[in-house]
Amino acid sequence: MLDVTKRTAPFDTARLDRLMDDAEMDVLIATSKHNIQYLLGGHRSFFFESMDAMGLSRYLPVFVYAKGEPQKAGFFGHRMDRFQNEVTPFWVFEINTKSSGSIDAMEKAAEYARKLNAKPKRIGIETAFVPVDAVAALRKVFPNSDYVDALFVLERLRAVKSPQELEMLRIASDKVIDSMQAVFQNFGAGVTKAELAEALRREETSRGLTFDYCLIAAGSSLNRAPSDQRWERGDVLSLDSGGNYHGYIGDVARMGIIGEPDAELVDLLAEVEAVEQASMKPIRPGALGKDIYTAANDVLHKSKVHNHTEFLAHGMGLVSHEAPRLTNSGPVPYDAYDADRPLETGMVISVETTLQHPQRGFIKLEDTVVVTAIGFEVYGDRIRGWNRAGG
């Protein structure tokens, strides 16, 4: 069992205290799977990995943290969580794994939070990840407290990745690339997009990943959903997939073709690659987040296909589009908080350049880039050109 005298949090508690202080937050109550994993140092429920619903309610893990008192942090989970606590004990000092649903889990967590702070002025909750019935249970205990969204505080806490987190992101990226390479090599003319997406799922899961999605486009079509459309000779194929390794997402995109690419296709992919490479050059500690866009757009605006091409950069980790936030004009709405702030060692950025050509189809590259002490490193930095079908 865990020596209670040696329990230490797996995250920077001083940083969390500062973030909570800036938000004037007295108590933090986290309920999302990804933040529970982060705050508990890796816990992912083996029983509720794929589904939250159970009987008349749902799985709701609850982590309680009072500002300035990490030694009193608590976790309140489902009955199934106790088995994992027996195998790998949680670091927190208060553990209750006797709940069956969202209401009883939150009731236990709220009662414990009241012992830590009987009258908190502001309580941070994950408004997008806590059900209404659990909020009602919390309000019964703290009817006079103000409730604020804890997303920003928790996102900033996770923004700089540890060496262990970076290794999981590296593994995830490499395994997705390996899976894509296998699909390119094993299939050929006549296979459907649905069959290719299913093959990629099998390849990723066989390598120990949890398959998240496959965005797939073939031929001149710009539709990216799996379908009965067939990949035929001369058609381009875009694979853009996310597979996670213990929760950490590998998100990359690569291109394939049946036969040999003609001169125009070689040139078009080179245009996309030029923007990708340019976007990475300024990445280093101390560089401003907006420098990535400046470098990418300098090349993109000179491209002969700039009217059909888009560049996007966003943070990666346990969540796609987490910190750093680099633009306020991307497909996922948020502010450009990090555009005018320096990048830090350990931040992870996805850079993606997409050409939606009206005749030649969907041509895209996406890469996972890590800010290192001396610059940057690209995970899964392989099969960047036209990958020939092998089937």
Q: Do residues 184 and 122 both lie within one domain? A: no
pLDDT at 315: 98
pLDDT at 14 over 80: yes
Q: pLDDT of 241-290, one tens digit each? A: 999 999 999 999 999 999 999 999 999 999 999 999 999 999 999 999 99
Q: pLDDT of 224-239, one tens digit each? A: 999 999 999 999 999 9
Cα 262 from Cα 285, distance rounded (Å): 40
Q: pLDDT-derived band of residue 7, with 50, 70 and 90 as boundaries?
A: confident
- Work out the angle at residue 163's Cα, subtended by the Cα atoms of residues 159 and 165, and round it to the nearest 5 degrees: 60
Cα 387 from Cα 214, distance rounded (Å): 17
Asked whether the beta carbons of 170 and 381 are under 8 A apart, the reply is no
pLDDT at 391 over 70: no
Cα 233 from Cα 214, distance rounded (Å): 21
Q: What are phi and psi of 372, to 5 degrees?
A: -105, 175
Among candidate residues 115, 143, 158, the one where a domain is terminated: 158
Q: Do residues 239 and 379 both lie within one domain? A: yes
State whether residue 1 is helix, strand or coil: coil
Among candidate residues 91, 125, 158, the one where a domain is terminated: 158
Q: Do residues 316 and 289 both lie within one domain? A: yes
For the chain, what percent of residues have pLDDT higher than 90?
97
pLDDT at 369: 98
Write the CB contacts of 277 (distance below 8 Å, at least 6 apart in sequence). none
Q: Do residues 186 and 301 both lie within one domain? A: yes
CA distances, 73 to each of 31, 64, 87, 144, 270 (Å): 14, 6, 20, 22, 52
Q: What are phi and psi of 142, to 5 degrees?
A: -125, 70
For the chain, what percent of residues have pLDDT higher than 70?
98
Cα 367 from Cα 241, distance rounded (Å): 11
Q: Do residues 142 and 208 both lie within one domain? A: no
pLDDT at 1 over 50: no
Q: Do residues 123 and 174 both lie within one domain? A: no
Q: How many CB atoms lie within 10 A of CB 267?
A: 12
Residue 351's nearest CA partner among 241, 268, 276, 264 is: 276
Q: Do residues 195 and 236 both lie within one domain? A: yes
State whether residue 128 is helix, strand or coil: coil
Q: pLDDT-derived band of residue 305, with 50, 70 and 90 as boundaries?
A: very high
Q: Do residues 187 and 151 both lie within one domain? A: no
Q: Do residues 85 and 210 both lie within one domain? A: no
CATH of the domain at 264: 3.90.230.10
Q: How many CB atoms lie within 10 A of CB 203?
A: 22
Give, as one character, the DSSP assignment of residue 326: -
- Work out the angle at residue 346's Cα, subtended by the Cα atoms of residues 85 and 162, and round it to the nearest 5 degrees: 20
Q: Do residues 36 and 72 both lie within one domain? A: yes
Over its C-alpha atoms, the chain yields an Rg (Å, rounded) of 23
The single residue listed with the structure tokens 């001169």 is 263
Cα 178 from Cα 186, distance rounded (Å): 12
The single residue listed with the structure tokens 């001149």 is 220
Q: pTM for the full model?
A: 0.95
Overall domain count for the chain:
2
pLDDT at 135: 98
Among candidate residues 99, 126, 158, the one where a domain is terminated: 158
* Domain enclosing residue 16, as ranges: 4-158
pLDDT at 175 over 50: yes
Give me 43's structure tokens: 């816990």
Say if residue 324 is preceded by a cis peptide, omega within 30 of 0: yes
Q: pLDDT of 203-232, one tens digit each? A: 999 999 999 999 999 999 999 999 999 999
Q: Do residues 152 and 177 both lie within one domain? A: no
pLDDT at 316 over 50: yes
pLDDT at 138 over 70: yes
Asked whether the beta carbons of 112 and 74 are under 8 A apart, the reply is yes
Q: pLDDT-derived band of residue 6, with 50, 70 and 90 as boundaries?
A: low
Q: Do residues 28 and 126 both lie within one domain? A: yes
pLDDT at 5 over 50: no
pLDDT at 2 over 60: no
